[in-house]
Chain A
């Protein structure tokens, strides 16, 4: 913008000087023309009689030199360089007299004057005589005119500069402002928000926004495609895995040799791990989709958690674990029950996975200050140095190498909590065991 204003200032200055310079030329030309006419009429009145030069000065010669500023007039009439009449100092001021009129600017009696000098040859009976005339006029009217024109030119220049400055200020602020707005709306976007930008922008920025939108669109499409692909893959893997597992279990019943049975159990465990991972991948894809189009129903969190606890109780018993439910009897909340169940189930799954036999899993549901579901176990707890990174997808704890899991459990819980405007918090209890708090 400074460049624009500087350019405007330079242009305004150029305009001022150009107009002023032109005015000087025109005004000077005007004065010179009148001086020329006056001196010509004076020379015309010169005659020679009996060797004497007579010059019957026409009244109009000086009359035409009258100006609004009452400019002073000086003149000198010479015969062959010898002073005849007028102002003698003017005759000595110029020392040469060419044929054609010559203009020059000089000083007479302390006043700046424009002087014209012209001459004419008179032919007498037996002689040739040169009559020379100097005519000078002060330049008060000229400078008055010039002052006026300069003032107007200056006003014009200032006006031009102001207009240009205001326009450039307006243009830049309009463009920068829109860019700033666009930047803000891009920055404020959540990580999942890949909708096109629809806010109106100036015409000049439309190509930028539409290419940005097209980029975002392609990104969204490829993300969706890969999510779809993962879900499809997980789905296709899970069904054959279930078939393989049932065959493996049937085979286990029939095998007697202890080492073969051990191999079969390992096989079943691996299959379980694969099918759980496939299930979680499916869950995650489902959660990503539902979180994008979150539907909120009125639900009771305590009821939802206790239903889940009842359903998981048989599995827990198989591992010699008990599930204890505590907290408020009713915690009303508006959210997606499928997502919330999924999240809590993943947390309980984790607790069952890491909790040692003969221990309990404690679930606390509370409504104040905000709805919270806390799941605690008596396992080894989270490794202190990884507590920040555990919620990232496919990240498993360093001490989980012997457990089944895909590393998606905490990620799913966090995605659900964030979709509902909350988050999860991991901590280790002082008396041992890990606690995960799901805040909504």
Chain B
């Protein structure tokens, strides 16, 4: 009887898995006795070296790595918290709210600085600034803009070049895009002016970093705003075509975060994975690592890292979100 229930459950879960994933990859399936399901917004390419290092140290653990968009992670996780062992996302606010709502397991044995963790449940493991990524070809012979203000001026100067060729996140779809947009809006009014300029140029909206960089690579767009620099740098084949600008007026830096589901069936293995993750990302080991490491906030850079604090929930409030989204639509979607 139990066998049938297990079988039925596995069919059910397969029905869930049958939903389309951006990417799905299993590591170390052959030898493992335990399996961890990780739902993540990080491209498999960037994360694979870390997982391979982990399974090399822990041959008994298999990793089922599922990639989807940040807002989708939040949605799926809330629907089936027991379907995943670990959630990894770049949308700090959504991750924070999941933790605040009690979905995350408290891990006593993970040692991490107080500013990079919350309630010993949510752990930050990268520091990634939002960047303006520019296809050099579009600025041939012209100075590359270094601030948002310079970008506004550059876009205004040559609307014929940039019409239909600027891209940014669709904040209605992308959790990370929403986080970056709200943090920018908090920091300066320049953000709204930039949005209006981009709106006037028939902006292309993307759900995900990957597609945006794809279009940037093949020249469909010339400027991508608020994209993760790490993603652009990872594109080895086209890296030389890009200029990755970290705007010097008010940089926004995000920390990628991970937590273990409270409903996880393998909390011990999941905790081991988190331990490995934060250690791996804190100590530079070799050149094979593709994800940026966690930068100490006091390391001297001027980058304002978004803090892990309850204020992250502010823009997730339904009223606030409606207001922000409608303002954003007013600015960006003008036709």
In the complex, the chain B residue whose C-beta lies closest to that of A61 is B314
What are the interface flags for A49-84 relative to B under an 8 Å C-beta threshold, 1 for contact and 0 otherwise? 000011111111111011010111110010000001
What are the interface flags for A158-198 relative to B under an 8 Å C-beta threshold, 1 for contact and 0 otherwise? 00000000000000000000000000000000000000000
Question: For chains A and B in complex, what number of residue pairs have CB atoms within 8 angstroms?
Answer: 63
Please judge, given known A-B contacts A59-B186, A109-B102, whether A85 and B317 are in contact too, CB under 8 Å.
Answer: yes
Partner of A66, one of B311, B317, B320: B311
Q: Which residues of A contact B100 (CB under 8 A)?
A: 72-74
Nearest CB in chain A: distance from B140 CB, A: 41
Nearest CB in chain A: distance from B63 CB, A: 28
Q: Which 3 A-B pairs have the closest CB atoms?
A: A85-B318, A63-B311, A62-B310
Q: Which residues of A contact B186 (CB under 8 A)?
A: 59
Q: How far is the CA of A78 from the CA of B175 in the complex (A)?
A: 26
In the complex, the chain B residue whose C-beta lies closest to that of A68 is B114
What would be 11 A-B contacts, judged by CB atoms less than 8 Å apart? A57-B314, A57-B315, A62-B310, A63-B309, A63-B311, A66-B311, A72-B119, A73-B313, A85-B317, A110-B102, A111-B102
Nearest CB in chain A: distance from B331 CB, A: 17
A65 and B310 within 8 A (CB): yes
The answer to whether the Cβ of A86 comes within 8 Å of any Cβ in the partner chain is yes
Residues 111-126 of B contacting A (Cβ, < 8 Å) = 114, 118-120
Nearest CB in chain B: distance from A66 CB, A: 4
A62 and B319 within 8 A (CB): no
Interface SS, A side: mixed
Q: How far is the CA of A59 from the CA of B312 in the complex (A)?
A: 8
Partner of A109, one of B101, B114, B310, B314: B101
Q: Which residues of B contact A55 (CB under 8 A)?
A: 317, 319-320
B319 and A77 within 8 A (CB): yes
What are the interface flags for B280-322 relative to A under an 8 Å C-beta threshold, 1 for contact and 0 otherwise? 0000000000000000000000000001011111110111100
B318 and A84 within 8 A (CB): yes
Q: Which residues of B contact A111 (CB under 8 A)?
A: 102
Residues 359-395 of A contacting B (Cβ, < 8 Å) = none
Q: How far is the CA of A66 from the CA of B314 in the complex (A)?
A: 13
In the complex, the chain A residue whose C-beta lies closest to that of B121 is A70
Partner of A57, one of B101, B102, B307, B319: B319
Q: Which residues of B contact A53 (CB under 8 A)?
A: 319
A62 and B320 within 8 A (CB): no
Nearest CB in chain B: distance from A110 CB, A: 7
Interface SS, B side: helix
Q: Which residues of B contact A70 (CB under 8 A)?
A: 118-120
Q: Which residues of A contact B193 (CB under 8 A)?
A: none
Q: Which residues of A contact B114 (CB under 8 A)?
A: 68
Q: How far is the CA of A232 from the CA of B186 in the complex (A)?
A: 121
Nearest CB in chain B: distance from A304 CB, A: 101
Q: How far is the CA of A358 from the CA of B313 in the complex (A)?
A: 136
Q: Which residues of A contact B311 (CB under 8 A)?
A: 59-63, 66
Q: Which residues of A contact B310 (CB under 8 A)?
A: 62-63, 65-66, 71-73
Report which residue of B102, B114, B309, B315 has the largest number of chain A beta carbons within 10 angstroms of its beta carbon.
B309
What are the interface flags for B227-250 relative to A under an 8 Å C-beta threshold, 1 for contact and 0 otherwise? 000000000000000000000000
Q: How far is the CA of A60 from the CA of B100 in the complex (A)?
A: 18
A58 and B119 within 8 A (CB): no
Known: A62-B312, A66-B310, A72-B119. 20 other contacts (CB 8 A): A54-B323, A55-B319, A56-B320, A56-B323, A59-B311, A61-B314, A62-B313, A63-B309, A63-B310, A63-B311, A70-B118, A70-B120, A71-B310, A72-B310, A74-B100, A77-B319, A85-B317, A85-B319, A86-B318, A110-B102
Q: Which residues of B contact A60 (CB under 8 A)?
A: 311
Q: How far is the CA of A56 from the CA of B182 in the complex (A)?
A: 13
Q: How far is the CA of A343 from the CA of B313 in the complex (A)?
A: 115
In the complex, the chain A residue whose C-beta lies closest to that of B100 is A72
Interface residues of A toward B: which range?
20 to 34
Nearest CB in chain A: distance from B308 CB, A: 8
Q: How far is the CA of A53 from the CA of B319 in the complex (A)?
A: 9
Nearest CB in chain A: distance from B77 CB, A: 16
Nearest CB in chain A: distance from B110 CB, A: 14
Q: How far is the CA of A219 from the CA of B314 in the complex (A)?
A: 97
In the complex, the chain B residue whose C-beta lies closest to that of A74 is B100
Nearest CB in chain B: distance from A131 CB, A: 11
Q: Which residues of A contact B323 (CB under 8 A)?
A: 54, 56
Report which residue of A58, A60, A63 has the largest number of chain B beta carbons within 10 angstroms of its beta carbon.
A63
Nearest CB in chain A: distance from B29 CB, A: 36
Nearest CB in chain A: distance from B262 CB, A: 11
A62 and B314 within 8 A (CB): yes
What are the interface flags for B93-134 relative to A under an 8 Å C-beta threshold, 1 for contact and 0 otherwise? 000000011100000000000100011100000000000000
In the complex, the chain A residue whose C-beta lies closest to that of B324 is A56
Partner of B320, one of A57, A68, A72, A73: A57
In the complex, the chain B residue whose C-beta lies closest to that of A58 is B314
Nearest CB in chain A: distance from B192 CB, A: 15
B309 and A66 within 8 A (CB): yes
Nearest CB in chain B: distance from A38 CB, A: 10
Q: How far is the CA of A246 from the CA of B211 in the complex (A)?
A: 159
What are the interface flags for A18-55 relative to B under an 8 Å C-beta threshold, 1 for contact and 0 otherwise? 00000000000000000000000000000000000111
Q: Which residues of B contact A59 (CB under 8 A)?
A: 186, 311, 314
Q: Which residues of A contact B309 (CB under 8 A)?
A: 62-63, 66
A84 and B319 within 8 A (CB): yes
Nearest CB in chain A: distance from B330 CB, A: 15
Q: How far is the CA of A70 from the CA of B102 in the complex (A)?
A: 13
Q: How far is the CA of A369 from the CA of B162 in the complex (A)?
A: 137
Report which residue of A53, A72, A77 has the largest number of chain B beta carbons within 10 angstroms of its beta carbon.
A72
Q: Which residues of B contact A77 (CB under 8 A)?
A: 317, 319
Q: Which residues of A contact B119 (CB under 8 A)?
A: 70, 72
A86 and B314 within 8 A (CB): no
Residues 53-112 of B contacting A (Cβ, < 8 Å) = 100-102
Q: How far is the CA of A61 from the CA of B315 in the complex (A)?
A: 12
In the complex, the chain A residue whose C-beta lies closest to that of B309 is A66
Q: How far is the CA of A389 from the CA of B228 in the complex (A)?
A: 121
Q: Which residues of B contact A61 (CB under 8 A)?
A: 311, 314
In the complex, the chain A residue whose C-beta lies closest to that of B117 is A70
Residues 72-112 of A contacting B (Cβ, < 8 Å) = 72-74, 77, 84-86, 109-111
Report which residue of B114, B118, B120, B318 has the largest number of chain A beta carbons within 10 angstroms of its beta carbon.
B318
Residues 184-211 of B contacting A (Cβ, < 8 Å) = 186
Q: Which residues of A contact B101 (CB under 8 A)?
A: 109
Q: How far is the CA of A84 from the CA of B102 in the complex (A)?
A: 22
Q: How far is the CA of A72 from the CA of B120 in the complex (A)?
A: 12
Report which residue of A54, A65, A70, A86 has the largest number of chain B beta carbons within 10 angstroms of its beta carbon.
A70
Residues 35-52 of B contacting A (Cβ, < 8 Å) = none
Q: Which residues of A contact B307 (CB under 8 A)?
A: 66
B314 and A54 within 8 A (CB): no
Q: How far is the CA of A77 from the CA of B309 in the complex (A)?
A: 20
Nearest CB in chain B: distance from A248 CB, A: 122
Nearest CB in chain B: distance from A24 CB, A: 23
